[in-house]
Amino acid sequence: MTDAKASQITAEPPAFPMSRRCPFEPPEQYAELRKEQPIARVTLPTGQLAWLVTRYEYVRELLMDPRMSSNRDHKGTPVMFPIPERTRRVFDVYGKSLIGLDPPEHTRRRKMLTSEFTLQRVRSMRPRIQQIVDECIDGLLAGSRPVDLVQALSLPVPSRVICELLGVPYADREFFQGCTAMMVSRATAPSDRHRASEQLRKYLDELVTAKEKAPGDDLFGRLIARNEQERVFTHETLIGLAFLLLMGGYETTASMISLSVAWLLEHPQQLEVIRADPTATNAALEELLRYFSVFDIMPRVALADIEIGGCVIRAGEGVVLGFGAANRDDEVFENPDVMNLRRGDRNHVALGYGVHQCLGQNLARAELEIVLNTLFARIPDLRLTVPVSELSFKKDAGIYGINEIPVSW
């Protein structure tokens, strides 16, 4: 390590996460760090030290490095809020189902799922997604104004889609959405987090047990039937997987719908790009994904000493990969802070990269495209009833988003 680097890391590491000044922009410190100290020591809310990586090149390199682990069992794994031991046992159930595993176990499990999320499979889901979107918009148009777009569209579309794929009754949405919101918010009291995680675990345990008896012809049922032969998942890891798919399936996509619609309504000229030509929406949504990066960060831990960018990340040290920061790297994206809906660059890391790259990305893209094209075609005069500055953004959540969007037309 150079002397300069050594002196930088002995200075008091700044607190992380850093706050945003503008709700659609990442924290402004990212740009300075990316330039001056693209791999920097930071202090997490738990008091733990970790490396924050803000340069695109390094984020991608580390995502491909087999010496980096996603396994949350390692002591150095960055933790954003304290999780008492008894709650950790419940969190582990879903962490260890897929996303918190490394190859070769991760590869074996992921292979069981890939055929359910191919482009072809998602194409076959499109008519049903369109129907769900149309029904939500019918409901919205029939109701009183102003209406909260989050409850009327952003949440129900991906929730209904994932409920159907998993065979979860949509009527239970308030219950599971309430539980997951409590589990992932940094503002939740530890006892509430524990209760929510236990309740959801129990609920999903019952779901998996029922499906083991009668799998049914939905995604999860097919997986369980196949698993009977291949024995890749245990009952416990199926519970974890149900949780991962349920939460991964709606919270992220709902946030993307909310942020995209709010931003487009604030920028009518940009909205015209997709309204004038719905085939432009595919490229536009890549830019929306890059720009908002609802998963701002992702934790990893080093399994061996890794020399990168003039620093040495020691074995056992935690690393926070800055997806949001990488997606604004001007070495890779021209004018990265400008939303350019015609950019058409799919090289962002908003959906991850490497072995854990988002399994549901084809589905997420299809949902976003259908929602944006249908919404603005069916309600051309849709508008926000309050300025963006008055919207409440999810500052404390692991997945960035908006709590409520009052709209009228």
358 near ligand HEM, rule: CB under 6 A: yes
Contacts of ligand HEM in 265-294 (CB under 6 A) = 294
363 near ligand HEM, rule: CB under 6 A: yes
Q: How far is the CB of 194 from ligand HEM (least distance, A)?
A: 24
215 near ligand HEM, rule: CB under 6 A: no
249 near ligand HEM, rule: CB under 6 A: yes
Q: How far does CA 81 lie from the centroid of its chain?
A: 18
| Segment lying near ligand HEM (by CB under 6 A), choices 77-85, 124-132, 261-269, 344-352 | 344-352
Contact residue for ligand HEM among 13, 14, 352, 406 (CB under 6 A): 352
366 near ligand HEM, rule: CB under 6 A: no
Q: How far is the CB of 7 from ligand HEM (least distance, A)?
A: 32
Q: How far is the CB of 104 from ligand HEM (least distance, A)?
A: 13
| Closer residue to ligand HEM in complex, CB, 9/399 | 399
CA torsion 374-397-204-153 (nearest 10°) is -20
| Closer residue to ligand HEM in complex, CB, 96/201 | 96
Q: How far is the CB of 1 from ligand HEM (least distance, A)?
A: 27
Please, what's the b/e burial string for 142-158 (b: 16 or more CB within 10 A of its CB; e: otherwise)? Answer: eeeeebebbebbbbbbb
Q: How far is it, in rounded angstroms, from Cα 224 to Cα 281?
A: 35
295 near ligand HEM, rule: CB under 6 A: yes
| Segment lying near ligand HEM (by CB under 6 A), choices 1-9, 25-33, 210-218, 357-365 | 357-365
Query: Side-chain half-sphere of 214: how many Cα atoms within 13 Å?
Result: 2
| Closer residue to ligand HEM in complex, CB, 162/391 | 162
Q: How far is the CB of 358 from ligand HEM (least distance, A)?
A: 3
| Contact flags string 18-57 toward ligand HEM, x per CB under 6 A | ----------------------------------------
Cβ-based neighbours of 49, under 8 Å, separated by 6 or more: 13, 41, 42, 43, 317, 318
Q: How far is the CB of 326 from ligand HEM (least distance, A)?
A: 11
Cα distance between the two ends of the chain: 59
| Closer residue to ligand HEM in complex, CB, 8/253 | 253
Number of residues that bind ligand HEM (CB under 6 A): 24
Contacts of ligand HEM in 82-121 (CB under 6 A) = 98-99, 110
Instruction: Return the residue nearest ligand HEM (CB atom).
Output: 360
Contact residue for ligand HEM among 59, 224, 351, 370 (CB under 6 A): 351
Q: How far is the CB of 145 from ligand HEM (least distance, A)?
A: 28
Task: Tell me the backbone φ, ψ of residue 126, rounded to 5 degrees.
Answer: -55, -45
Q: How far is the CB of 293 from ligand HEM (least distance, A)?
A: 8
Contact residue for ligand HEM among 93, 150, 298, 402 (CB under 6 A): 298
244 near ligand HEM, rule: CB under 6 A: yes
Q: How far is the CB of 295 from ligand HEM (least distance, A)?
A: 4
| Closer residue to ligand HEM in complex, CB, 8/372 | 372
- Give the residues lining the site for ligand HEM (CB under 6 A): 70, 98-99, 110, 162, 244-245, 248-249, 252-253, 256, 294-295, 298, 350-352, 356, 358-360, 363-364
